[in-house]
Structure 1
Amino acid sequence: MAAAIDMPVTSRPIVVAPMAGGPSGPDLVVAAGGAGALGMLAAGYKRPADVVAEIAEVQERLDGPFGVNVFVPAAAAWSRQRVDPASTDTEARLQADRVALEAFRDLLAQNGAHVSVPGLDTGDHYEDKLDVVEAARVPLVSFTFGCPHPEIVDRLHASGICVAVTVTTTEEARTSAEAGADILVVQGYEAGGHRGTHRAAATPNQLDHLALLPMLTDVGLPLVAAGGITTSGDTRRALASGAVAVQAGTAFLLSDEAGTSAAHRMGLTDPRLGSCVTRAFTGRPARGLRNGFVERYDEYAPAVYPGVDTMTKPLRAEAARQGDIDGISVWAGAGWRAAREAPAAEIVEALAP
């Protein structure tokens, strides 16, 4: 196993969370870095060529560290619990998933939304994106939805890349440490967007980051607290509880530099909507605002990712084009009311301890 790599040094103990789907583009990453925070590009859902272009733009514009977040597909995730592949009935699971997706498709059709059941998971171009971040020698690469294989971690370490893994439980933390991770991003239930559970079907716990931090200190890795960070007081409390930094995303959704869509921005200011965790849009538990789509489909969406996500994506895209906030995924953390329109640098300053 290669030697550990230290977390990139910034003047503020703040990471601007990677938010897939638009918000975390080069403009936000550069603005965050310029303010002394660590900005993160979100590689999830993007084509590898687009990730290459975004990394190149940030490297051109920013004289400082930044990171890239990569989704770990289920087939590539590593676990300490060595499972004999022969003991897992993969075909039966895939068939059950397909039956569940077909039932969800039929339900959507009853409401006038006609979509197709997707084919096999493409893995979000995982291997290609690993090649991209390795070739670019990105200072930090974080992983979500699972733990990368130790060989992947060693490979990134050999290129001088710091490796972080999002965790929500002690088992996920220990698995990530054994794989060779340098940093754990400790995600509490308050966090917006997808929960970082390492299994899509897992029911996420309801522990906030302040409860999780002391549970993970004996793992022996630096901890970054994520979830509900909206004030300098939140940052101070997380640091006092053992974190070396905080990761905030929702606080930046309305920032001038965020690529948040117009419909998403409208949803964040709609007084009708409240916070919830739902599988309705993607099949994975994710925190957002409870709109019409969630009301209609939350109890019916199967725990099949990325199948549900692929099915609902064209519906959400059309809703966004029409400015229909009841048809889009309004991802946001529990503290979304504190989000405000302002330059990212101003928000970084407000979160600083």
Structure 2
Amino acid sequence: MLEQLDLRHPIVQAPMAGVSTPALAAVACNAGALGSVALGALDVAGARSAIAQTRALTARPFAVNLFCHAPAVRDAAREAAWLDRLRPEFARFNAQPPQSLSEIYQSFRVNDPMMRLLQEVRPAAISFHFGLPTANQIAALRQTGAALMATATNLVEARLIVAAGLDVIVAQGWQAGGHRGMFDPDAEDPSLQTRPLLRQITGLGLPVIAAGAIMTRQDARAAIADGAVAVQCGTAFLLAPEAATSAPHREAMGTGRTRMTRAISGRPARGLENLFTAIDGAEAPAYPVTYDAGKALNAAALATGETGFGAFWAGTGAAAAVARPAAETIAAISP
């Protein structure tokens, strides 16, 4: 895999939707790592533009990332109850919650136009989060020559990735920032940290990339000693000038306090503690329908200058992040 993607450093810049940028991916690639472009929350026009921008900045291979969640099962009563639950929060900003919610973006599993775009632009690597593409999609993407990767949070998911015929497993430990890559967000989560997870799945016959709490060279070396061929870092890049991390998000990184929550999007995700993570998300509707409410609440709060309802995704190593160019972070972490 390292040879196919021409990596000088066994590091993958994580595809962080909303924060990673074509500039960040290109800098990572030019520094000898694998940059990633997050397409999961984009429509086809946005995805085409992001890929074109990245290709304008680097001639090296890069990855694109798609979301493969099960399409939302709508529950009008639950959605209405959730809006009522958030009504007092909106009222703090003299605002009303939306009258209804929508599924704000499609799963790749049912997004035929996105599939055709990938067949056309033929990225060097494609990674999947929240599950796997359909068998027909995998067969078609095989024809593009791309390296195919998917996230696993436990042994069962890792075995499903192997059975599907993909090339690489991304082992996402409990410490990782952003959304858990669980195939079924309602299943029991063993909450495996990165190194114990690696020890469970490195013997399955596929190369494994370790993700979660990789902030230093020592962290990278420990993961590779446990059988990983590379490491994936996201939180380590959040303070890079090439990232689109907002000023309040950057400022909150110093606290280092994170929490897993469903309240923002409807799926378990780790972010920096703020007013939104204090809300109990147990009754949140399906993903990404809940995100529609979360974005509306954040917009209402921001209109009054309140930043505490942002989705400040970050891993448990947030306090160790260093504000420096992404290329310097790659050099500092590379084992």
TM-score by length of 2: 0.92
Q: Paired residue for 1:263?
A: 248
Q: Paired residue for 2:218?
A: 233
CA distance in 2 between partners of 1:143 and 1:58 (Å):
19
Q: Paired residue for 1:103?
A: 81
CA distance in 1 between partners of 2:31 and 2:243 (Å):
15
Give the AA of the match of 1:348. Answer: I
**CA deviation vs aligned residue, 1:209-251 (integer Å, no higher than 9, x gap):** 1001121123210100000100000000000101000000000
RMSD of equivalent CA atoms: 2.1
Shift of 1:102: 1.3
**CA deviation vs aligned residue, 1:275-326 (integer Å, no higher than 9, x gap):** 110101001000011111221x224542521111122112223445655331
| 1:336 pairs with 2:318 | yes
CA distance in 2 between partners of 1:63 and 1:137 (Å):
14
CA distance in 1 between partners of 2:312 and 2:209 (Å):
24
CA distance in 2 between partners of 1:26 and 1:150 (Å):
29
SS in 1 for 2:239: coil
Shift of 1:263: 2.6
**CA deviation vs aligned residue, 1:15-53 (integer Å, no higher than 9, x gap):** 0000001x2111101110111110000012112111101
Counterparts in 2 of 1:119-134, with a 5 A limit? 119=102, 123-124=106-107, 126-134=111-119
Which one of the candidate residues 184, 196, 206 is aligned to 1:199? 184
CA distance in 2 between partners of 1:121 and 1:34 (Å):
33
| 1:50 pairs with 2:46 | yes
Q: Are the counterparts in 2 of residues 177 and 219 from structure 1 also a CA contact under 8 Å? A: yes
In the alignment, structure 1 segments of 5+ residues that lack a partner are 76-92
Q: Paired residue for 2:5?
A: 8
Comparing 331-340 and 197-206, the one that deviates more:
197-206
| 1:17 pairs with 2:2 | no
Counterparts in 2 of 1:1-353, with a 5 A limit? 8-21=5-18, 23-75=19-71, 94=73, 97-111=75-89, 112=91, 113-119=96-102, 123-124=106-107, 126-269=111-254, 271=255, 274-295=257-278, 297-302=279-284, 304-320=286-302, 324-353=306-335
Residues 1:143 and 1:226: Cα distance change in structure 2 (over 3 Å):
same
Residues 1:196 and 1:303: Cα distance change in structure 2 (over 3 Å):
farther
Give the AA of the match of 1:116. Answer: Q
TM-score by length of 1: 0.87
Q: Are the counterparts in 2 of residues 204 and 285 from structure 1 also a CA contact under 8 Å? A: no
SS in 1 for 2:231: strand
Residues 1:193 and 1:56: Cα distance change in structure 2 (over 3 Å):
same
CA distance in 1 between partners of 2:86 and 2:136 (Å):
41
Give the AA of the match of 1:350. Answer: A
Q: Percent identity?
A: 38
How many residue pairs match? The answer is 328
Give the AA of the match of 1:11. Answer: R
CA distance in 1 between partners of 2:283 and 2:248 (Å):
23
